[in-house]
Amino acid sequence: MTACGPREFLKARASGRRMRITTWNVNSIKQRIGHLAAFLTEAAPDVVCLQELKSQEAGIPREEIEAAGYRIEAVGQKAYNGVALVVRHGLAVDAVRRALPGDETDEQARYVEALVTGEDGERVRVASIYLPNGNPVTSDKFAYKHAFMERLRRHARALMKDEIPVVLAGDYNVIPEPEDAADPAAWVDDALFRPETRAAFRALLAEGYTDALRACDPRAGLYTFWDYQAACWPRNFGIRIDHLLLSPQAADRLVAASVQRHLRGLDKPSDHVPVTVELAAA
């Protein structure tokens, strides 16, 4: 199970009954709606977890999403943040949670979760998460990042109690290990790679979650984000910060995980690319 290229990824969708869940920081849903609509049509995922919508809910281009055969559950915010679940028609969506528990004063649009039921009756709880960046580390933003991660850890533990498969997908703004960056030394003092941040990510995994991509492909040089500056994309000078974490019940059904890195080569792309997992029917 390795990262698929464009042809292999499209071929995989015809390989049997599986639920395909993608995470993608689109860096403005309005600017990237053409890319998103094409991805929905060509790749036919069951669920897409979007981050950084940069739009209030009223401004989300729903017509294009509906035309591609999907519905959207979104939590918007003007100009910043914003998360969504884009779910294929035919799948039921219930028990929508529109904020991460643990801090009722938190007004940032960074979390949406729902119970998704496939045509075969299989249920998966899916969350789209946009963790705070946390920079600079000397500011309140770093403290907010870690408070958010602690709230996520507690909620992730609670979600496993009903033993329904859980997929926590999103832009975590965490570089877990040195091999997840082309130049680890450049990130030593950054909030994404600080020891405290990586420890918080490991604490989340220690609750029983599996990093799906690393479970399938341990190679170095596998990235999900390339900065727009300094020719980072042509040089493959990237980092891996977009993750899908699976509960034990979901990990038992993991068939494949892949990075759709070819989409970074589109005209006016997001600086992130989609990452997809495939879960077999129980």
What digits encode the pLDDT tens for the residues 4-20?
334 444 554 445 578 99
* 227-271 pLDDT tens trace: 999 899 999 999 999 999 999 999 999 999 999 999 999 999 999
- What are the beta bridge partners of residue 169? 128, 244
Q: In this structure, are residues 118 and 158 in contact, taking their beta carbons and an 8 Å threshold?
A: no
Say what the pLDDT of residue 159 is.
98
* 205-237 pLDDT tens trace: 999 999 999 999 999 999 999 999 989 999 999
Q: In this structure, are residues 26 and 53 in contact, taking their beta carbons and an 8 Å threshold?
A: yes
Is residue 33 in a domain? yes
* Other Cβ atoms within 10 Å of 265 Cβ, number: 11
* Other Cβ atoms within 10 Å of 193 Cβ, number: 22
Radius of gyration of the chain (CA): 17
Is residue 130 in a domain? yes
- Three-class SS state of 83: strand
What is the residue whose two structure tokens read 């989609």? Answer: 274
More confident residue, 118 or 3: 118
Query: What's the pTM?
Result: 0.94
Is residue 146 in a domain? yes
Is residue 186 in a domain? yes
Is residue 1 in a domain? no
Is residue 121 in a domain? yes
Is residue 237 in a domain? yes
Q: What's the total number of domains in the chain?
A: 1
- Three-class SS state of 113: strand
Say what the pLDDT of residue 281 is.
84
The DSSP output letter for 184 is G
Say what the pLDDT of residue 3 is.
38
Q: Which residues, 6 or more positions from 190, have their beta carbon under 8 angstroms from its beta carbon?
A: 135, 137
Q: Number of C-alpha atoms within 13 angstroms, CB side, residue 160?
A: 20
Is residue 243 in a domain? yes
- Three-class SS state of 154: helix
Q: In this structure, are residues 151 and 111 in contact, taking their beta carbons and an 8 Å threshold?
A: no
Angle (CA) 207 149 201, round 5°? 55
- CATH classification of the domain holding 100: 3.60.10.10
What percent of the chain is modeled with pLDDT above 90?
Answer: 91
* CA pair distance 227, 117, nearest whole angstrom: 36
* 24-47 pLDDT tens trace: 999 999 999 999 999 999 999 999
Say what the pLDDT of residue 16 is.
58
- Three-class SS state of 67: helix
Q: Which residues, 6 or more positions from 12, have their beta carbon under 8 angstroms from its beta carbon?
A: 4, 256, 258, 278
What is the residue whose two structure tokens read 């950084």? Answer: 52
- What are the beta bridge partners of residue 114? 126
Domain with 84, as residue range(s), is: 6-280
